[in-house]
Each structure stands twice: as structure tokens, then as C-alpha cells.
Chains A and B, each alone.
Chain A
Amino acid sequence: MSNENHEGKPTLNGDQNLPAHAGEERLSAPVAREGMFGAKTTGDTSGYGRLLVRRPAAQDSERPFTDPDDPRTARFDEIADTLEESLREGPVDFGAAIERVVVDRGELTLHVRREHLPEVARRLRDDPALRFELCLGVTGVHYPQDSGRELHAVYWMRSITHNTEMRLEVSCPDADPHIPSIVDTYPTNDWHEREAYDFFGIVFDGHPSLTRIEMPDDWHGHPQRKDYPLGGIPVEYRGATIPPPDERRSYT
């Protein structure tokens, strides 16, 4: 908590901590939310109604990915180098396939361009030096403010051989929610991709039978998206009416 300012933005280090730089970056970040308390129907007397909260810009880590002070990151450079070498044998190179690399909280995230996901997944599984033989499924995350790349699919990979783990993140725009399926590389992703499709509407091209899995077949909409209402009804308790959770005052 301590390394952030009041807007939930991590404090920048070194030279960038100068007010000019900090301000520049803050003002260029997309607006995450306006106003406060989630009040939409009543007049705002708090003065916070015109508040603009900006989300920090997308992070990007530079090499080296291994931080000598953080043992959790010990193998990250090795993974990136091996993958780079392995991809060189194929049709795409590392720079083209991997949009950016993020190291955060001791976790490695590779942002993969969606068209190259199957190639990267296959390399990760089959290269003896990588050998991520276990894919722990995929889940969607909806970032409505991240225009052009609203829907993210997040894959968690684990190598039992080398005891390493990492995350793949693939994004696609809401207007064209297509991501190639990796079920033929990781059969375990069958249901996980169906779930991500069911909840987020991400279409996994090449999936053997992409149907809903949790919701009924004839359901409309994709419930985990941010624009999908939670639902619920007001409840009366001792004469007072308690609104449903998504209409209550919120502090975020």
C-alpha cells in the first residue's frame, strides 16, 4: 500500500518522480472512472462528483527480467531467452510474437499477439528447455476502458520438469473477439475455453465444440463482462430498503 499515491497509482522511481513527469503520465492515462460513491441518481453534494480517476498506463518491463534481489524471478531471463531461441526456428520471431513482457510481483507475464498464440504455446510445451507441460486453463478479464483490446485471455502455464511458472496474456478487441484455440496443444483447455467463451464472449477459433458450459444454451449475453448487470432486487429490512449490491454506494 505504501508505494502508491492516493490515486492507487504506483509511485514512479528516480527521475520520473519529478512532478512534471508524473503529471504527464497521469494525464495521458485513460480515465477509469468519474465521480465518486457510484451515485448516479441523486445530486452530488460532496464535491467529488467531477473527480477523474486515471488508471496507470500499461506496464512494460525491460530486460533483465531477473531481479537478483527477488528469488521468485530467478528463471525469468532464462525462460525468455529460451523462448526467443526456440521461436527463431519457426516462422515468427520473439519480437513479433511477444508484444511485451511484464514482470510484476514476482510473476512473469508474456503478452502474446493473438495470431501467434498457437505457435508460442506449442514451443512452450515441446521445447525440452521450456517444457511447460501443464496449462492451468484460461480465464477472461474484461477491461472496458482498454479500447481496442478490451478482452484479455489469461493463461497460467506450469512446467513440472523445470518447476517454473508463467502467465500468457492475449488480448482482442470487443468488436472482433477472436483468439485462436490452443486445445490441440493443451487438451485440458477444452472446458476452460468454453467457460471463457460463455462468460466473456471470446471466440476461440479452432475449438472443437465451442458451446456454453455454465449458462443455459439459450442464454443471451456474457455475464462476466463489465457491462453485464449483476442483477438482484432491493430488499426491505426493518422498514428500510436496501438496494441490490450493484446499485449500492461504492468507494472504488
Chain B
Amino acid sequence: MSTNVTEDYIDASGGDWDEVIAAAQESGAERLVVNMGPQHPSTHGVLRLILTLDGETVTDARVGIGYLHTGIEKNMEFRTWTQGTTFVTRMDYLTPIFNEVAYCLAVERLLDITDQVPDRATVIRVLMMELNRMSSHFVAMATFGMELGATTIMTNGFREREMVLDIFELITGLRMNHGYIRPGGVAQDLPHGAVGKIRELLKEMPKRLKILRKLLDANPLYLARTRDVAYLDLAGCMALGVTGPLLRASGLGWDLRKAKPYCGYENYEFDVPVSDGCDVYARYRVRVAEMEQSLRIIEQCLDRLQSGPVMVDDPKIGWPAQLTLGPDGLGNSPDHIAHIMGSSMEALIHHFKIVTEGFRVPPGQAYAAVESAKGELGCHAVSDGGTRPHRVHFRDPSFTHLQAVAAMCEGGAVADVIAAVASIDP
């Protein structure tokens, strides 16, 4: 790591800042190349930005991704279709439920059982997705505030998110990486007390959102940092394949929940918030408005919840056991174990086969897309007729959106790069 000085530019790739300044003063070069990240918290995980600066102005912004590549898609080819859920949920720890739903919808389409998924499971999926949308948007706002130096937004955002994560923990057992949505339904029915806890959230959250709006909507400091920053208009969004809140903040009310309803979204009443500001502020306004709509959907979900099964009525696909909470706090299925170990040899064989071998999926390919908190999240699944995926690919909105960093940042101030990246919410 050293400062590399050429006639054209100074490459500041580490080392002592004083040396960089001295070198810059000595040489006649005008441009400075700096690395932002990959370790800085404002780069959301490990994103590396390579910026060429002319004074305070960014003339070139290049993005280095790949530090988060973990080979999940490859790994899934060596696990059963059910085990895939465990992997996809880890693709983005802020939107685990969306990843799971997209994957399960694709697998269900391959199995041709989309219509057989029980109503209760579908409603729970919608409920979980909308809760997840809120928790993801809270993080988007919280980290944004933190990166601009507004720690109140950060603490508030994470505090609100924790309310959602508490519900997730109650329902799935984990705050993130749930593996809760499974091909054919969901892993577990809602536990006792979950509906009450969600009702509490519905009562409390509007107040919290109001506080957030009071703090930010017309805050002059916030406006100064977000208005007309990182401008990306509709033409830019279309060319770069940008979807989700960024697209809706450029004036097009495109939402897969309305346009291509899945999981019964056509039965819910909600609005698609749109803004035509095309800037960071507009994206913030869209996100807050979306959270308010999510609350509406969650309320309707609770009203629509009817008792019934949560897994498809096909013993060749559905997981045989339902977990109950043991005295040690761990999940187990005493009734099921008694059944397979004590009374039915066939049930034991069936259990063994479906758990170790999994189910076979007819050959073919399918694409299922959901409107995740960040944009269109698509899952392309290919089966060769076996018990394992031949290929699973995720069309991840963040991957696509990060391409827009150059379009948003070049020509702007270096300080606005942070705001731009945060508004993408990668």
C-alpha cells in the first residue's frame, strides 16, 4: 500500500494521509483516486467505491462488489429443495422473508402446486413480508442517518426495527435468517400470542412513524443533504433496470404487488406511494409512506387469518412434523416422534425419505418475482427432475441498483456519495 503518483493522477490507496497531501502538493496532477471502503460502515457490508476526485467533485465513481460473494447459489445445487430455504434467507440479512418467498414461489411453480398452498400460509407469508418491508426500510433510514452523522435517526430506526424483529423471533425463533417460509407453506403456524403482539405493534407503530416524520420530513439539515442529491430520473431507472422505491421515487408507480399480484395481494387494499423528486429525499418519502401502507396490509392480514393448515396437503412435499416448544426452550415434535418410533413403520420410512432424500421436482424452469423492500427480487429455478436444484439464480435488486452509483454520483460532491449509496439501500 503506497501512494502512487503519476503525471495524471495521485492514487491514494492507503498509507499516511500526510504523505498523500505532500505528494499531491509536489506533483502537478489534478486528480486524486481514493478507495472508499470496503471496510467503512457507510459502504453497507463490504462495498468498495473507487472514486476519482477533482477537488471535492467526483469525476469517476466505480464500484467493486464481490466481497460478499459466498457461493450460495452453487451450494444450493448440493442440497435438497427444502434445504434451499436455509441458504436463500442468508442472501440478504435485511430482507430474509422476501428471499424465502421468492424461492418458494419458484419451487411451487415448478411443482405446479401454487394453487394448493393453504390460505393461512399465504396470509402468514404476506404478513411476514410486510413486517420485513418495515424492518428493512427502518434500517435503510437508520443507516442513512448514521452516515450523515445524525445518530438520533439511527437509534430511533434500530429501536423501531427491533419491535419487528421481536415478532420475527416469536414466530420463527430467530431475528433473521429464519428459514421460515418453505416450499408448500410455512414451517410453523403462528405461535400463541403472536397475533396479540402484532396488534400491539399496529397500535404503537403509527406513533413511532409520526415521530420519524416529525423529525425528518421538513428538517432543514436533512433537506439540505437530501434534496436534489443523487438524481436519477425515470429514463435512467429504466435503462439501469432500477425497480422498487427508487423507481417509485422517480414518478412511476410500478409495484409487482399491484401489477403481477402474488400471494393474494390483489385482495388487499393498499396504495402505492409515488414521488417524482428523483432524489434522495423522494426515496425517503416513498419508504416512509410504504411503511404506513405495510401497516394497513398487516391489519388486513390479521383480519383474514382463518384457522387451517399452514402446509400443503401433500405428504410427499409437506414436512411431516410440527414443532412444539419443549421445556428446555428448544423445538421438538414429541407426538410425531412417538408416532414414527412407536406405532408406524411406514411413517418412519416416509419421514426418513422426505428428510434425507427430499422431494422430486419435475424438470423445467420457473421464474418467480416478488416486490421486495428494495425492488424486484426474482428467483429463477431450474430442475432436472431430481431432489436437488439444477440451478437457482437470484435476480437481486441491490446488485442491479449498485450499477446506478456512477450515474448518481459523478459530477457531485464527494460527501453526497454517501447519501447516494445509502439511498439505494443496497
Total chain A interface residues with beta-carbon distance under 8 A: 52
Contact of B362 among A4, A107, A212 (CB under 8 A): A4
Contact of A245 among B75, B240, B252 (CB under 8 A): B75
Given A1-B360, A190-B403, do A105 and B366 touch, yes or no (CB 8 Å)?
yes
Decide if A82 is an interface residue (CB 8 Å cutoff): no
Interfacial residues of chain B within 64-102, with CB under 8 A of chain A in the complex: 65-66, 69, 71, 73-75, 77-79
Chain A 115-140 interface 0/1 with B at a Cβ cutoff of 8 Å (1 = within): 00000000000000000011111010
Among the stretches B283-291, B293-301, B302-310, B376-384, the one at the interface with A is B376-384
Decide if B224 is an interface residue (CB 8 Å cutoff): no
Question: Nearest chain A CB to B184's CB is how many angstroms away?
Answer: 11
Decide if A250 is an interface residue (CB 8 Å cutoff): yes
Contact of B260 among A104, A163, A230, A250 (CB under 8 A): A163
Chain B residues whose C-beta falls within 8 Å of the C-beta of A78 in the assembled complex: none
Instruction: Give CA–CA (A6, B5) in the complex, Å.
Output: 67
Decide if B112 is an interface residue (CB 8 Å cutoff): yes
Decide if B14 is an interface residue (CB 8 Å cutoff): no
Among the stretches B134-142, B190-198, B393-401, the one at the interface with A is B393-401
Chain A residues whose C-beta falls within 8 Å of the C-beta of B268 in the assembled complex: none
Decide if B257 is an interface residue (CB 8 Å cutoff): no
Decide if A141 is an interface residue (CB 8 Å cutoff): yes
Given A1-B316, A55-B385, A163-B259, do A223 and B395 touch, yes or no (CB 8 Å)?
no
Question: Nearest chain A CB to B147's CB is how many angstroms away?
Answer: 24
Instruction: Give CA–CA (A9, B360) in the complex, Å.
Output: 11
Instruction: Give CA–CA (A214, B110) in the complex, Å.
Output: 28
Chain B residues whose C-beta falls within 8 Å of the C-beta of A7 in the assembled complex: 385
Interfacial residues of chain B within 369-423, with CB under 8 A of chain A in the complex: 369, 376, 378, 380, 382, 384-388, 390-391, 393, 395, 399-400, 402-403
Chain B residues whose C-beta falls within 8 Å of the C-beta of A66 in the assembled complex: none
**Contact indicator B65/A214 (Cβ below 8 Å):** yes
The residue on A at minimum CB distance from B110 is A105
The residue on B at minimum CB distance from A252 is B386
Decide if B167 is an interface residue (CB 8 Å cutoff): no
Instruction: Give CA–CA (A162, B376) in the complex, Å.
Output: 17
Question: Nearest chain B CB to A172's CB is how many angstroms away?
Answer: 16
Chain B residues whose C-beta falls within 8 Å of the C-beta of A213 in the assembled complex: 65-66
The residue on A at minimum CB distance from B238 is A133
Residues of A near any B CB (own CB < 8 A): 1, 3-4, 7-10, 32, 55-56, 104-107, 109, 133-137, 139, 141-142, 154, 156, 160, 163, 165, 167, 186-192, 195, 212-216, 223-224, 228, 230, 245-246, 248, 250-252
28 CB-based A-B contacts, threshold 8 Å: A1-B317, A1-B360, A3-B362, A4-B362, A4-B385, A8-B360, A55-B363, A55-B385, A105-B110, A133-B238, A134-B238, A136-B395, A137-B395, A139-B393, A141-B365, A156-B380, A187-B240, A188-B239, A213-B65, A213-B66, A223-B74, A230-B78, A245-B75, A246-B78, A250-B78, A250-B388, A251-B387, A252-B384
User: Ordered nearest first, which 8 A-B pairs have the shortest CB separation?
Assistant: A252-B386, A8-B385, A188-B241, A139-B393, A214-B69, A245-B78, A251-B357, A214-B66
Given pairs A163-B260, A188-B242, 13 additional interface contacts (CB within 8 A): A1-B316, A1-B359, A3-B112, A105-B110, A105-B366, A109-B365, A136-B378, A142-B391, A167-B365, A191-B402, A215-B66, A230-B77, A250-B387
